[in-house]
């Protein structure tokens, strides 16, 4: 009997605390740390979900020439300030301007470049 209560208690603790300990990124979040930390800023997190609510895929991947493949486009701050890539929107006109460093450079230290979001993005894919 005591054993049974013990088991139920364990189950209850798992039920209550489980979601709090489990952490995973939103599907298709991209992390970029090809240069960030080496240059002394936090890694970049790019949320696909946020952007696809507002823009079609081809705006970035065709018109702005951002390659499909995390970290393969060769984005630098110089190019963004020059109005390329993210800088085509993040210029204070269409979206907030590029001097809001933290809004992109918001990743935990040591993040690897890649596409995240649970087991469904973790197949043998190239990303």
Partner 1 sequence: MTRIRAVIFSIVLTALASAVLASGKWQPLKDDGLHDPSNPAIDVLQEPGEALSVLVPDGAGNMVDWVQSLQQGLITPRPGLEGDSEPEIRDTTVLMKNTYPMFYVRFPHKPHTQWMSCTTCHDRIFLPQVDANPINMGRILEGKDCGLCHGAVSFPLTECNRCHNTDPANLAMEDAVAGEGVQ
DSSP 8-state assignment for residue 32: E
DSSP 8-state assignment for residue 87: G
Report the residue from 6, 39, 65, 68 that binds partner 1 according to the rule CB under 8 A: 68
Residue 15 neighbours by CB under 8 Å, 6+ apart: none
Dihedral sign from CA coordinates of 115, 72, 68, 49? positive
45 binds partner 1 (CB under 8 A): yes
Residue 55 neighbours by CB under 8 Å, 6+ apart: none
Report the residue from 41, 42, 80, 81 that binds partner 1 according to the rule CB under 8 A: 42
Report the residue from 4, 40, 78, 99 that binds partner 1 according to the rule CB under 8 A: 4
97 binds partner 1 (CB under 8 A): no
18 binds partner 1 (CB under 8 A): yes
Copy the structure tokens of residue 18.
């489980």
Site residues, partner 1 (CB under 8 A):
4, 8, 11-12, 14-16, 18-20, 22-29, 31, 42, 45, 47-50, 52-59, 61-63, 68-69, 88-89, 94, 100, 102-103, 106-109, 111, 115-117, 120-121, 123-127
């Amino acid at each position: 009997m005591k054993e049974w209560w013990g088991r139920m208690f364990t189950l209850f603790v798992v039920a209550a605390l489980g979601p709090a300990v489990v952490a995973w990124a939103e599907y298709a979040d991209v992390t970029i740390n090809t240069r960030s930390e080496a240059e002394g800023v936090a890694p970049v997190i790019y949320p696909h979900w946020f952007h696809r609510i507002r823009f079609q895929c081809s705006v970035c991947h065709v018109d702005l020439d951002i390659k499909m493949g995390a970290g393969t486009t060769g984005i630098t701050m110089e190019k963004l300030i020059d109005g390329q890539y993210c800088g085509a929107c993040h210029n204070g006109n269409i979206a907030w301007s590029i001097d809001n460093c933290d809004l992109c450079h918001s990743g935990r230290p040591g993040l690897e470049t890649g596409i995240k979001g649970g087991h469904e993005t973790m197949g043998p894919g190239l990303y």
